Amino acid sequence: MNPFTIALPAGRLAEESMAFFRECGLADFQFTGGRELSLCDTTGTYRVIFVRSQDVPTYVIQGGADAGITGRDVLAERGYDLVVPADLPFGYCRLSIACSESLVATLYQKKHLRIATKYPRLAADFFFKKGMSCEIIKLHGSIEIAPILNLSDCIVDLVSTGQTLLANGLKEIDVILESRAVLVTNRSVYARETKLIRNMLMAFKNTIRARQESH
């Protein structure tokens, strides 16, 4: 039998996902920290593949993976038609608007805004709903430097601790949405692998409950 394949966003979220699976007693992935793009757990029941965060839903939709773990921000930006059977207790962050200290008081008074972001749809929706004219400048990384170079008036980006904003002279002024890690699968896999997915969800639920009871 082929292992149940789960697409993970390479980096911290993948590490947190594998640690959570281990805590739940579902799978123990022996990650060496090397350049492996896929790993099977010690029983061969589960396999994880490491992909870019934005690609997780595509792998799941196209059948390259049976399920995936991604952030709610990724799903909201693209509006993917996926089943979301579980919220997970990690990956907490928020999609926020930030600008330089000098613009905090007047940003929303400007007639036209230039916004640098990796989230063009969510950013545009937020400002259009406020009745504001804006130009979206899509970037793929180092978003915080855009206001410093006068490329944009503000940014829309994920914020966890806020330390990166602070280090670049930016202040968080609004939150567009709260995000966390979620389990996703496509509809055919959800119907076909009902028992396995149900067992996963029960293990998740029991682990989360045990955490809550221990505090």
pLDDT higher than threshold 80 for residue 99: yes
pLDDT higher than threshold 80 for residue 215: no
Q: Per the structure, how many domains does the chain have? A: 2
Tell me, yes or no, whether 150 and 189 share the same domain: no
Tell me, yes or no, whether 86 and 120 share the same domain: no
Specify the pLDDT at position 213: 87
Specify the pLDDT at position 33: 64
* Alpha-carbon gap, residue 51 to 38, rounded angstroms: 9
Mean pLDDT along residues 70-91: 95
The DSSP bridge partners found for residue 5 are: 47
Specify the pLDDT at position 175: 97
pLDDT higher than threshold 70 for residue 34: no
Beta-carbon contacts of 13 under 8 Å, excluding residues fewer than 6 positions away, are: 53, 69, 70, 71, 90, 91, 181
Tell me, yes or no, whether 184 and 84 share the same domain: yes
**Domain range spanning residue 107?**
93-179
Tell me, yes or no, whether 197 and 132 share the same domain: no
pLDDT higher than threshold 90 for residue 124: yes
* Alpha-carbon gap, residue 18 to 121, rounded angstroms: 30
Is the separation of the CB atoms in 152 and 146 below 8 Å?
Answer: yes
Say if pTM beats, i.e. exceeds, 0.95: no
Tell me how long the chain is: 215
Mean pLDDT along residues 171-198: 95
The DSSP bridge partners found for residue 50 are: 8
Tell me, yes or no, whether 82 and 187 share the same domain: yes
Average pLDDT, the chain: 94
37: CATH: 3.40.190.10
Tell me, yes or no, whether 55 and 80 share the same domain: yes
Tell me, yes or no, whether 97 and 173 share the same domain: yes
Specify the pLDDT at position 35: 73
Q: Say what percent of the chain tops pLDDT 90.
A: 87
Neighbours of 12 (CB within 10 A): 11
Tell me, yes or no, whether 101 and 175 share the same domain: yes
Specify the pLDDT at position 2: 86
Tell me, yes or no, whether 102 and 155 share the same domain: yes
